Structure 1
């Protein structure tokens, strides 16, 4: 029995994925989550996931943080990214950082089935229209992704707030933690990213950013 895990906070697209899986994969086991924290917890608890369908931007995850975190922590789990974006550069980055498929939310149920089938067969799948436009991801960017993946979800949230220019007190308010805790997170972020100040940390994050509608 195949086990699919759908990680997406959009009910309509989750429903579309469920319909395709139920129609084409008899007796498939399907579990779901709607944010990064519960997705990572599910991957910790469920050892038999054959394919993770991962929304590129859902609560707790922006850009490629969800993907690089899953690839770092659970390298044996195939990942199919789902996204509203059909930008070739975004697709190139997702595949370059370890996704086995990239499924735009505009594709047909038939395309979704073909993508799932390809990944389960050990192949990769992207929309036909962009297959000739894919670009490789360089070694420097892969190294940056590994550093980003070393952050905890909470540290990643702090880093995103640093990008927005929030002060430690404001970040603490947003996260419901003390300024001392925020400072500890920032120290850990600097160490893991190999930087010494906020500006350098934000530059690292910017290099991993995507254009996502």
Structure 2
């Protein structure tokens, strides 16, 4: 397939980034490939480019754990086509990726031939998930949907809360007033339907659970 696609590979393991790079080149001729090794670098790159045709995203890398990175991306870039590439192949993980709107889920254990086939399928407009996985059987996850409703700044504040930072420390890190942080925290509680920091952090931990 020959195209002018712009594709981003987001993974902190150089060897696997290289494997994905090779798979993309085998599947697509003439694609513009860019690589990042952290969520921060990914967000910076996305802010600098006009359009991305496909993002291949590892679930676990610096700045993200579990589905927190995917939730942030779906929040800030809802139209960005995202395919998860993960070492985890558990059905519950794949179903969660579906629920967050991923276009595909490719296990890292997949052979090169499968990677190439999956990429071709996705770029032709069809989703690609491991056999036997159906969104119809995915459990409802209201917490995931509520977390996805947070603004990028609110999500960042929630992450800092989970790290045990006080409002004053968060204000310093984000270069905003403490009153602004309090407003964000109040909005987070309302959107997550929780009453305190502990409950909010527990909600985030559900998103980050598991070695993905």
TM-score bucket (shorter structure) = 0.7 to 0.9
Which deviations, in whole Å up to 9, do the C-alpha atoms of 1:128-155 show, x marking residues without a partner? 2x42597325262343232345445642
**1:181 CA displacement:** 7.0
**1:4 CA displacement:** 0.7
Structure 2: which 5+ runs fail to align? none
Which deviations, in whole Å up to 9, do the C-alpha atoms of 1:49-108 show, x marking residues without a partner? 110001111111112121122122212221001111111101100111110111111111
TM-score (norm 1): 0.82
**Correspondence 1:144 to 2:146:** yes
**Correspondence 1:43 to 2:43:** no
Alpha carbons 1:9, 1:59 under 8 Å: kept: yes
Structure 1: which 5+ runs fail to align? none
| Residues 52-201 of structure 1 aligned to structure 2 (within 5 Å) | 52-128=55-131, 130-131=132-133, 135-138=137-140, 140-148=142-150, 150-152=152-154, 154-161=156-163, 166=164, 168=166, 172=169, 177=173, 185=181, 188-194=184-190, 195-201=194-200
Q: 1:71 to 1:154 in 2, by over 3 A?
A: closer
Aligned length: 205
TM-score (norm 2): 0.82
Alpha carbons 1:3, 1:28 under 8 Å: kept: yes
Alpha carbons 1:80, 1:102 under 8 Å: kept: yes
Alpha carbons 2:88, 2:107 under 8 Å: kept: yes
Query: Structure 1 CA distance, aligned partners of 2:172 and 2:115?
Result: 40
| RMSD over aligned Cα atoms | 2.9
Q: 1:167 to 1:157 in 2, by over 3 A?
A: closer
